Structure 1
């Protein structure tokens, strides 16, 4: 019977007062927040911040698709020669002849950010056969700048001697060849977004045996991301 009376005993005055105070405090905070949210200055401030964020996001997107749009780096073979052709006769090239192609190459970067590229690889073809390979070291073409380098390709004489049309080309005084060059690199937009770029260049050219120079050069370039 005593336990039942204890269970039904009302809360003390102190406890009730504490609940009332807490309730009044929470109610006051709720009213204050409602007033704050309905305050015109607060709403206007939130509107300004939201508009600023939208404008900033739109501006960044516009810059990425216009000013910072990735443009194709251009590779040009300005001049070149094939060393060792002076030892060639109208009939053949000696097997012990060291043939080396040396070309003055420029990489033009039209972007507003730097273009960093890795090793440049070049393959030389004659009569549909791979007759030479070359590699150039990595480098950087600064924004709107052109970097120049010498590309060296070691030619395999035994491969050239195996091409049937060699005799007729020597009598004509010119060797028609093709080259394939690949450059892999990238640009970093606003130091956040990085775009990887691969530039592939196919060229056809003629090496004049008398002058040892490159002439009648035609190149086609393709870029991929």
Structure 2
């Protein structure tokens, strides 16, 4: 009887030791899984922060463009005293590709022929929302009366075209997450070719 009790006690101890080993093994596996989950989460956080910093918090320069020119009047004189005088409606577009609004200051756009200024346009200060384009309707008046020499103008008008350029530098701030402001500027650099006979815009290219 004593021998049977001793054997039973031996089996019980082995069962307890086996159960303890299994419990320790389960705990070890759980700790490993937890460590793996923590590592995956940490890597995911690093990726999210990196993408956020490179994409969301990176301020890009807005784009400034001139478009949709429609003439109200266009008077062109050829001959010994060539000249032009025009008035047109147009649209100025401020394209903001940032994840925050772009607030810009008053901007002066200058129209040039042959290196001389023939007119200017004041673009009023405003705001282009995040990932959007601000469209501003304007009226422009240009005249050749300020040209120091009209010889080149007369030569070009005989070809049936009139070529103008427009330049401007817009300054402002991009607001990111409502707490960070970054200064950014936008440049206007457009070339306008007018068909003298048809009295309309043949080409309008902005860089």
Specify the SS of the correspondent of 2:154: helix
- After superposition, what is the alpha-carbon deviation per residue over 1:57-76, rounded to whole angstroms, capped at 9, x for unaligned? 99667523322211232223
**Aligned partner of 2:113 among 122, 126, 140:** 126
Matched, 1:80 2:69: yes
1:194–1:79 distance in 2 versus 1, CA, 3 Å: same
Gaps of 5+ in 1: 1-54, 221-225
Counterpart of 2:78 in structure 1 is: 90
Whether the aligned pair in 2 keeps the contact of 1:71 and 1:110 (CA below 8 Å) is yes
For residues 101-180 of structure 1, the aligned pairs below 5 Å read: 101-160=88-147, 162-180=149-167
**Aligned partner of 2:176 among 189, 192, 196:** 189
For residues 40-79 of structure 1, the aligned pairs below 5 Å read: 62-79=51-68
Counterpart-to-counterpart distance in 1, 2:51 and 2:203: 42
Counterpart of 2:28 in structure 1 is: none
Q: Which has the higher contact order (CA 8 A, sep 6+)?
A: 2
Deviation at 1:122, TM superposition (A): 0.6
- After superposition, what is the alpha-carbon deviation per residue over 1:101-145, rounded to whole angstroms, capped at 9, x for unaligned? 432222221111111111121111101111111101111111111
What is the aligned-residue RMSD (CA, Å)? 2.7
- State the TM-score, normalized to the length of structure 2: 0.67
Whether the aligned pair in 1 keeps the contact of 2:104 and 2:127 (CA below 8 Å) is yes
- Count of residues in Structure 1 that have an aligned counterpart in Structure 2: 163
Gaps of 5+ in 2: 1-43
Counterpart-to-counterpart distance in 1, 2:195 and 2:72: 11
Q: Which of the two has greater strand per residue? A: 2
Deviation at 1:150, TM superposition (A): 2.0
